[in-house]
Amino acid sequence: MRSSCVLLTALVALAAYYIYIPLPEAMGDPWKLMLLDATFRGAQQVSNLIHYLGLSHHLLALNFIIISFGKKSAWSSAQVKVTDTEFDGVEVRVFEGSSKPNEPLKRSIVYLHGGGWALASPKISYYDELCTAMAEELNAVVVSIEYRLVPKVYFPEQIHDVARATKHFLQPEVLQKYSVDPDRIGISGDSAGGNLAAALGQQNWNTPILPRHVMVKYWVDYFKGNYNFVQAMIVNNHTSLDVEGAVALRARLNWTFLLPPSITKNYKPVVHTAGNAKIVQELPQLLDARSAPLIADQEALQHLPKTYILTCEYDVLRDDGIMYAKRLENAGVQVTLDHFEDGFHGCMIFTRWPTNFSVGIRTRNSYIKWLDDNL
């Protein structure tokens, strides 16, 4: 009996050690967030073991775990009709909200889920419930695109899938079928779905859910690259002064100008004089504005429509979002930057028990309100 108690105590201590990560005081529900982060880390480690044993690619294994625990059928309610179909060969899940009495034509949002271009689906409960809420509260048609994922396809095939499905939806006869107003259509997404640039910030190296090294690995996977580049990319050796392709872009990404003092604080620019030019030579997609809109030239940005950007303080992509908003503002685009001081990466989809977070509910409500006011 005594040995059993000792063993149980040791197991509890090991579990607590694995789960615990230091979190800033501003973050709400800390133990719930630690459990969520530990669950993700555990799933990643299991998938890495499966990859090591040669049983499957680690991303296929990880996505299988995610979808197995969260897949949801296309279930309709009295308020929202949900159907699975295809737009020009691309799978989509369509959420049709009810029409307003005085508006026969509905607003519409094309939604792109997150997941590092390799994970998740419109058919998992988190995104199904988000899109259902959008369709119901906005009386809108939401088209959630099931773009193909790494490692089955790589950049730029995800972009092609999204473009193909969106173009199909925008055909007059298709808009008429779904009773959509062609002048009130928006496109939106989170994380990889938002297609923001890779992490370049100074802070938030080891944030919950998406640490910096994991984000860099997703970029390498997206470009079908070599994991040997990961450590060099983490310290920005692909943007050093001797990398010719990056020099022309550096002036566009002066973070001392694009980020507010509340974030730059007392940090000083660190630019490596010598790095690894081979990274950009083998992964030219890193400097392709289609993969990183943050590096697009000013003329391209000027043509963008009214934009909403939601950023979270504890997110490896925080600085990218804030800099992108500033670049859009400088280009004359009407942009709303909605920053949450207690937010973490992907929090907007965590709104139901047991992974319901106060900041998740607040970010989702703020996002839907902006759509309601502006679409």
Residues annotated as part of the active site = 191, 315, 345
The DSSP secondary-structure symbol of 196 reads: P
Report d(CA 204, CA 226) in Å as an integer.
24
Residue 21 corresponds to which tokens in the numbers above? 């990560």
- DSSP three-state, residue 190: coil
* CA dist., res. 45 & res. 303, Å (int): 43
307-314 and 335-344: which strand pairing? parallel
Number of C-beta neighbours around residue 326 at 10 A = 18
Q: How far is CA 291 from CA 114, 160, 229, 296, 328, in A?
A: 14, 12, 18, 10, 17
Q: Determine contact, residues 168/87, Cβ cutoff 8 Å.
A: yes
Q: How far apart are CA 62 and CA 50, in angstroms?
A: 9
